[in-house]
Amino acid sequence: MTIAPLIESISINKVFGGWHKQYSHHSKTVNADMRFAIYLPPQAINGRKVPVLYWLSGLTCSDENFMQKAGALRIAAELGIAIVSPDTSPRGEGVADNDSYDLGQGAGFYVNASQAPWSRHYQMYDYVVNELPVIIEAAFPVSNKRAISGHSMGGHGALTIGLLNPERYCSMSAFSPICNPINAPWGKKAFSAYLGKDRATWQQYDASELMGKARKFIPAKVDQGGADDFLKEQLKPETLEAAAKMNDYPLELTIHEGYDHSYYFISSFIEAHLRFHGEHLDR
* Residues designated as active site: 152, 228, 261
How many Å apart are CA 59 and CA 67, to the nearest integer? 16
Distance, CA of 155 to CA of 147 (rounded, Å): 13
Euclidean distance between CA atoms 159 and 188, whole angstroms? 18
CA 206, CA 202: separation in Å to the nearest integer?
Answer: 7
- Residue 258: exposure state from Cβ atoms within 10 A (0-12, 13-18, ≥19): exposed
Dihedral over Cα of 172, 217, 245, 111: its sign: positive
Partner residues linked to 82 by β-bridges: 52
Dihedral, 270, 266, 43, 217 alpha carbons, nearest 10: 60
Tell me the backbone φ, ψ of residue 133, rounded to 5 degrees.
Answer: -60, -35
Q: 213-232 b/e with 16+ CB inside 10 Å = b?
A: ebeeebbbbbbbbeebebbe
